[in-house]
Amino acid sequence: MTDPIKNRRFHMLVMPHLNSAFNLACWLTRSRHDAEDLVQEASLRAFRFFDGFHGDDARAWLLTIVRNTFYTWYQENHAQQQDTLFDEEFHSLDATDAVDMHYRDNNPEQLLLRKDSERQLQQGLAALPLEFREVMVMRELEELSYKQIAGIVGIPIGTVMSRLGRGRKLLARILAPANQGE
């Protein structure tokens, strides 16, 4: 039998962060299906160990569990993951989403250029080595602080800053050939 107070606290503190957990899982696994499985497993782990959570940042705590669950999964499936390609369908917005979210007042040519730039950026981010991709996603997409990232990844803040700097340089190099034709 489960504790109703624990259930309420878990739903109030942790469940609002499932979208962030899923986003991180998608970028780590590069697969929507694997990300769904990963978040489900991480959520079960989070609930199982929720009594041990005494902090005030449930989002960072959940993302730590997602990351740790990913690395367990990754070690078990490493050979299969090396051949995984970027999932274009998952990482692209359809035109309706783009219009609704960002580009309501732009003309079709601008929409196309922005969508192509976004696609290139997403592909470049997906091409980064995992240690850089994970901190880039946490900082740039999830907008976590350096301190939160350091806690999640288990590295010093200086290492977070270094990985972000190196990740940004690598991303710029990856995107450079695409920008040369403009």
HSE of 3, CA atoms in CB hemisphere, 13 A? 8
* Three-point CA angle 16, 21, 25, nearest 5°: 160
CB 142 within 8 A of CB 152: no
Q: Give the per-residue pLDDT at 106.
A: 58
Q: Give the per-residue pLDDT at 1.
A: 60
Q: Give the per-residue pLDDT at 96.
A: 43
Domain extents for the chain?
1-84
pTM of the model: 0.74
From residue 29, how far is each of 70, 90, 133, 143, 154 by CA, in Å? Answer: 8, 12, 11, 20, 19
Q: Give the per-residue pLDDT at 178.
A: 53
Digit-by-digit pLDDT tens for the chain (182 residues) are 678 888 999 999 999 999 999 999 999 999 999 999 999 999 999 999 999 998 889 999 999 999 999 999 998 886 554 444 444 444 444 434 434 444 444 567 777 777 777 888 888 889 999 999 999 999 998 999 999 999 999 999 999 999 999 999 999 999 887 555 55
From residue 24, how far is each of 8, 39, 107, 135 by CA, in Å? Answer: 25, 9, 32, 10
Q: Give the per-residue pLDDT at 27.
A: 93
Instruction: Tell me which long-range contacts 170-179 makes (C-beta under 8 A, separation of at least 24).
Output: 170/128, 170/129, 170/132, 171/121, 171/124, 171/125, 171/128, 171/136, 174/124, 174/127, 174/128, 175/120, 175/121, 175/124, 178/120
Domain covering 1-84, topology: Rna Polymerase Sigma Factor; Chain: A (1.10.1740)
